[in-house]
Amino acid sequence: MRVGTVKEIKNHEYRVGLTPESVRELVAHGHEVWVETGAGNGIGASDADYEAAGATIKADARVVFDGCEMIVKVKEPQAVERAMLRKGQILYTYLHLAPDPEQTADLVKSGVTAIAYETVTGAGNALPLLKPMSQVAGRMAIQAGATALEKAHGGRGVLLGGVPGVLPGKVVVIGGGVVGFNAAQMAVGLGADVTILDRDPDVLEKLDNHFEGRARTLYSGKAALASLVAEADLVIGAVLIPGAAAPKLVTRDMLSTMKPGSVLVDVAIDQGGCFETSKATTHAEPTYVIDGVVHYCVANMPGAVARTSTYALNNVTLPHALRIADKGWKAALRADPHLAAGLNVHEGKVTYEAVARELGYDYVPVADVIA
């Protein structure tokens, strides 16, 4: 199979779909790899590095899209990229379709076979292709929140860890999954006063055992959430419903109860955000203020640490890319129900139930497509 990767064009997105090491693996399996010139610059990988791994360098994205059977990316294709997709082509990347009707309509219209990293499953309903970026985003959320809390950035002027004689900042983490756990780890490490909210008793028990009192856990009811948000210096939104739009847990009315200069970091923004007042921002302009509360809602947080993120992502995406290239997408999905869960769109049909329900499409089960 001829596999291609292109330079990401989303604002301040420096990751790349394939590292030179991943290219070498694909070539060793007998595949041909085309790479857009400069695609790896953001991770310190030159065109020469890709050529040494066996890739062919192409002058622009159009050539790669036109010539390759499978396109491997990081972020969802932007409008100009979606216009280059075609029937019979495989798109393998993050998609986050539920809150993005325009992208979904374009993918349906193109006829492309779109496999989304974020809905590929693993044992125990895990999301292994989402996990490394959730780890990165969770850890970055505390860094970003700590910066936003500085007075020069519009915040309250609170140091999360405090100092002797001064209380630490209060951090509330909504959601105890991968993002929430990693955010809490970072916040605890800084010496902050941390509370984690979740609705799963097993998750709460696991977190409680891990942190051994260094972070508190609390069942997430409406009253508990409202009370903690009002007291918080920093709130991390770390809620995920696989493939579906995130629920709006922090309402506009709740902002009026918060301290002026407190900060909301919405890691769920890729799925529409879990704060009612969230809107996607970029690394160029990461924050905005509503009712005196600083909002940080960057939709591609891991792109800021592109090298770490790209290698972590390739560790989990490459094995599936190899299976798709080796067997063809249909045989690969038949052989692996976890990979089959990643199919979101195929030849004009929406094959992921949560996306179809959210956006009003007829749902076509993956089993019907690969039969």
Q: Is 75 annotated as a binding residue?
A: yes
300 assigned to a ligand binding site: yes
Q: Is 270 a catalytic residue?
A: yes
Q: Which of 100, 193, 266, 270 is catalytic?
A: 270
Is 305 part of any known ligand binding site? no
> Is 270 annotated as belonging to a binding site?
yes
Closest of 346, 303, 342 to residue 320, by C-alpha: 342
The answer on whether 199 is annotated among ligand-binding residues is no
Nearest one of 2, 267, 247 to 118, comparing CA atoms: 267
198 marked as part of a ligand binding site: yes
- Residue 239 among known ligand-binding residues: yes
Active site residue 96: yes
Residue 129 assigned as binding residue? no
Residue entry with tokens 């956006």: 359
| Residue 179 burial by Cβ neighbours in a 10 Å radius (0-12, 13-18, 19+) | buried
- Is 179 annotated as contributing to ligand binding? no
Catalytic residue among 96, 295, 320, 346: 96
Check the annotation: does 134 bind a ligand. yes
Going by the annotation, the residues of the binding site are: 15, 75, 134, 198, 220, 239-240, 267-270, 298-301
Going by the annotation, the residues of the binding site for NAD(+) are: 134, 198, 220, 239-240, 267-270, 298-301
Going by the annotation, the residues of the binding site for substrate are: 15, 75
Q: Which residues are catalytic?
A: 96, 270
